[in-house]
Amino acid sequence: MKIIIIGGTAAGTSAAAKAKRTNKELNITIYEKTNTTSFGACGLPYFIGGFFDEPNNMIARTPDEFEQNGISVFTEHEVMRVDIKNHTLQVKNLKTKQIFNDTYDKLMIATGGNPIIPPISNIQLTNFYTLRNMQDGKEIRELFKKKDIKNIVIIGAGYIGIEMVEAAKALEKM
């Protein structure tokens, strides 16, 4: 049986690892749009706040480690189209721009959520960020290092929003 998982961060990679442990014969492929897999976004505020410096500390397993366990991982590959009736995907390699098709028996979509951006006037201002992935975290961390950035506003009171308040406070940005 061939399983394809769209999304290679926390949920997708966890599901792939569990499925492979349950049945070693499964053919599992993960397609991840970014260049980061098995990534815990809950660590982003602590990375931004300087509680640790190495962003790879937020990565549980690399693509090579998944490959060693028989799970194929394709980073920087975006699934462009899903044909549920024919069990096929259209995939784009974001590095080479090559588009190809793949087939599956079972499909899991684990792409995570998108930040809700409230209807705020002047939202096109510079220094307006959302925090969803490793790249966002690196950009915000660099911004927080700037001495001329003295005050920030955090919109959102979920776990990551609250942890971002901690990070901002630690860096004296609030």
Task: Assess whether 53 carries a catalytic annotation.
Answer: no
Structure tokens at 173: 């940005």
**Phi and psi dihedrals of 90, rounded to 5?**
-110, 125
Decide: 48 and 166 in contact? Cβ < 8 Å.
Answer: no
What is the signed CA dihedral for 15, 43, 128, 146, rounded to 10 degrees? -150
Task: Single out the catalytic residue among 1, 42, 109, 117.
Answer: 42
Q: Which residues contact 120 (CB under 8 A, 6 or more apart)?
A: none
The radius of gyration of the chain's CA atoms, rounded to the nearest angstrom, is 19
Residues catalogued as catalytic = 42
